Amino acid sequence: GRMGRTLVELYYDVISPYSWLAFEVLCRYRHIWNIDLRFRPAFLGGIMQQTGNKPPAMLPKRGEYMLKDMKRMAKYYQVPVHMSADDFQRIIGTNSLTAMRFITAMDMTNPQYLEPLSREFWMRFWSQHEDITQPENILAVARQAGVSAELSQKALEMISSSAVKDRLKETTAEALKHGAFGMPAVVAHYDGKPHLFFGSDRLELLGSIIGE
């Protein structure tokens, strides 16, 4: 990277709508700020389990607020997240493990597709309200992201391999080591130490701490 660039890691899971917001904002700011942005696909389910965290919507008042918050954030950041009250059940009923393993496999084999692929998963789940757990739907997402049938088939075959499972576990463990308890977890490596920022609403603070 360029001289004195700050490494900023984004730990994310496509089941998390706030991760999508942070992803898009950081994608815009990496051209403005002196940062090297590194995408770190991790597994939110693992983080929640390890830390004893609960989905925000488990608390009804928090769920009500989240709907309003997401609507405002989507409008403000111009990201097409569409959330309604029945999405809470949809999230709880969706396991993102296969999707995150697929994204991890693509990161390991053809990392140039990591950004468009992740974006298409969010688009499909959060904008089009479509399934992201079944192999045919995962392949459809990859196709939308411009990945050839051959490469996506290869990535799909890799998801059951220990190499992919271990990589996803390791990335998730790294997020935990940095203090993550949910997603997105943004870690800026500045001044010789990692600085953790949770959520998509601390990005101005991140900028301020790294001198932007």
pLDDT higher than threshold 80 for residue 3:
no
**Side-chain-facing half-sphere of 102: CA atoms under 13 Å:** 26
Is 16 one of the annotated active-site residues of the chain? yes
Q: Computed from CA positions of residues 92, 96, 97, 98, in that sequence, does the dihedral angle turn out positive or negative?
A: positive
197's enclosing H/E stretch is strand 193-198
pLDDT higher than threshold 90 for residue 79:
yes
Alpha helices, H only, the chain: 17-29, 44-51, 60-77, 87-92, 97-109, 114-122, 135-144, 149-158, 162-177, 203-209
147-174: pLDDT as tens digits: 999 999 999 999 999 999 999 999 999 9
What's the pLDDT at 1? 46
DSSP structure class, residue 210: T
How far apart, in whole angstroms, are the C-alpha atoms of residue 181 and residue 142?
29
**Residue 66's Cα: distance from chain center in Å?**
18
Task: Tell me if residue 75 falls in helix, strand or coil.
Answer: helix
In sequence order, which residues have a C-beta less than 8 Å from that of residue 187 and are 6 or more positions away? Answer: 8, 9, 11, 175, 178, 194, 195, 196, 197
35's enclosing H/E stretch is strand 35-41
Q: Of the listed 16, 118, 152, 200, which one is catalytic? A: 16
17-53: pLDDT as tens digits: 999 999 999 999 999 999 999 999 999 999 999 999 9
Query: What's the pTM value of the predicted model, to 2 decimals?
Result: 0.96
Q: In the CATH scheme, what is the code of domain 6-207?
A: 3.40.30.10
In sequence order, which residues have a C-beta less than 8 Å from that of residue 28 and are 6 or more positions away? Answer: none
